Each structure stands twice: as structure tokens, then as C-alpha cells.
Amino acid sequence: MFTIGCHLSIAKGFAAAARDAASIGANTFQFFTRNPRGGKAKELDPDDLATFAEVRANEGIACILAHAPYTLNPASAKPETREFALQALADDLLRMEQIMPGQLYNMHPGAHVGQGSEVGIELIAETLNAALQPQQTTTLLLETMAGKGSEVGRRFEEIAAIIERVELDEHVGVCLDTCHIWDGGYDIAGALDGVLGEFDRIIGLDRLRAIHLNDSKNPCGAHKDRHEKLGLGHIGFEALSAVTNHPKLRELPFYLETPHDELSGYADEIARLKGARL
Ligand code: FE
Ligand code: FE
Ligand code: ZN
């Protein structure tokens, strides 16, 4: 099955987001658990969640991916920032059990803000060890980053080092962002098999649970993180559709985070990807 969707707003609730997804030909979607710049999460509405379950059943929406706010930084040098990251993470994981059990929750690993990636890796693992619970059904995903600023997670080795330090690592996976790894220096357009081989050797492909499918405004290795619409960037549509067709990736859920103001922009990209699906 081709599991494809995009990032959607839940400002009007989860049921409305699921209907939006269905209206653009998607069978999954990603959403921010709270304002991407941080802050308090909106109260969950039991009526909305009940309708959400009905819409999912009717529209064939099998899975969802939550995204943590960008401001969440468990690698911060400030204890209060790390404490906020832990509280938000723990709260989000509890809410996921109510929204829909057994789903995916993605986060940017963090920024070491000059402390060095080794310190960053330790601090991130510390927060994950405090936040993850044995009974949780949600899988927490660490997103591969572009390496702008002091972001941890540009190199597969950094992601692997975090996971190695997590006790309940059965609850941890990876979300691969095509724009990020391209900007990070992995040539997925010219050498997809080589990049996946490296991922497998260092992290293990069994950890890979979701793909953010984005083109990039910049050349490979730029360390920029500027998403582009599919086919209008440096990766190109052919290389991105090859990602969705790769035998080792094709069963994963794919999420567009391309810059569109209208849902129709996503509908067009989803239709194009479906058309190119082998
Ligand atoms: Fe992200
Ligand atoms: Fe992403
Ligand atoms: Zn990005």
C-alpha cells in the first residue's frame, strides 16, 4: 500500500484534519502537537476524537504522525529549557495515547548550542530516558537534520549514538527527511542505494519508520534546511519518486512538508507521486 500524506493543521480539530487529508487523496497526515514555537497544548475534545475515529474508518486513514514543537530542545545548556522539553515530551506522549494509540511521534533531536555534539547526545538521551514509559504504545522518532547551526542529528552516527543510550529503545525509531539529509550531505539523488546502505550499517533500516518527502532549495551538503516543492528543487521529482518506490522504503508512510499555501498544492503532489508509483 502507498501511505502518503502531508503536514496539516489541527486548528479545527482532528476530525477536520482527517477530512482534509481524505479530500487531497491522502491516507495519513502529520500535525503539530502544539504551537510549533512552543507553548501549551490545546485541550483534547472527546467528541472530536470520537468523530476522528469514525472519519479514519470511513476514509481509510490508517496511521498518523505527530510532530513536536521546534522550540523543544533537550540538548540546551539551560536546565529550564531541558525541563520544558521533558514536560512537553511527556505530556505529548500521554496525549498521543488518547488521540490514537500505536502511532508515531517525531521530534528534532536538539541543538547543542556550542556545547559540542557529544554533550548534546548525552543530554538528549537523558531526556528521552526520563520521558519514555514502558507501557507507551507510541513510537518516538528522531528526525534526521540538515545540520544548520548546532543541530544534533545531521550525521547518522549522531542519531545512532542517541538511540544507543536510550534504555527503552524499543519505543524509538527514525524519521528520514529527504531535504535534511540532502542538505546534510547525503546524495539521495545520485546514490540512494549507497545512502540507504550507510543508514542500515550505522542505524539499522529496521529503525526507519517514516519519511518526510521534500525537495530542497539548496545543493547537497548546503546545511541549510529550506524545503522546496517536489520537482522545483535540487533533488528533483524523479529522485523523490524513486524514494517512494525503493523496495526498502515503499511500505513506509511518506509526508510532504513542501511550501504550499493551499491544500490543492499537496493534492497535486500526491496525485503526481501516485502516478509515478510502480
Ligand atoms: Fe521536522
Ligand atoms: Fe521534516
Ligand atoms: Zn526541515
For position 39, what pLDDT does the model report?
75
pLDDT digits (tens, 9 = 90+) for 79-102: 999 999 999 999 999 999 999 999
Distance CA 4, CA 249 (A): 12
Residue labelled with grid coordinates 508515531: 104
In whole numbers, what is the pLDDT of the chain averaged over residues?
97
Take residue 1 and report the three cell numbers written for it.
Answer: 500500500
Distance CA 153, CA 258 (A): 21
Considering every ligand atom shown, identify the ligand nearest to the alpha carbon of residue 227 and give its number.
3
Q: Which residues are known catalytic residues?
A: 37, 67, 70, 108, 143, 177, 180, 212, 225, 227, 257
* 116: nearest Cα among 169, 161, 85: 161
pLDDT digits (tens, 9 = 90+) for 130-152: 999 999 999 999 999 999 999 99
Its domain, for residue 171, covers 4-275
- Tell me how far the alpha carbon of residue 108 lies from the centroid of ligand 1, in angstroms: 6
For position 170, what pLDDT does the model report?
98
Distance CA 215, CA 258 (A): 7
pLDDT digits (tens, 9 = 90+) for 97-108: 999 999 999 999
β-strand partners of 172:
140
**Is residue 37 predicted with pLDDT exceeding 90?**
no
Distance CA 253, CA 66 (A): 13
- Tell me how far the alpha carbon of residue 107 lies from the centroid of ligand 1, in angstroms: 7
User: How far from each other are the two terminal CA atoms of the chain, in whole angstroms?
Assistant: 11
Give the mean model confidence (pLDDT) for residues 46-74: 97
For position 169, what pLDDT does the model report?
98
**Is residue 38 predicted with pLDDT exceeding 90?**
no
Q: Which amino acid type is present at position 188?
A: I
Give the mean model confidence (pLDDT) for residues 247-271: 98
Considering every ligand atom shown, identify the ligand nearest to the alpha carbon of residue 213 and give its number.
2
What CATH number is associated with residue 16?
3.20.20.150
pLDDT digits (tens, 9 = 90+) for 191-213: 999 999 999 999 999 999 999 99
- Tell me how far the alpha carbon of residue 226 lies from the centroid of ligand 3, in angstroms: 6
Neighbours of 108 (CB within 10 A): 25
Number of domains the chain is built from: 1
Quickly state the pLDDT bin for 5 (edges 50, 70, 90).
very high
β-strand partners of 5:
28, 255
Q: What percent of the chain has pLDDT over 90?
A: 96
For position 35, what pLDDT does the model report?
83
Distance CA 213, CA 256 (A): 5
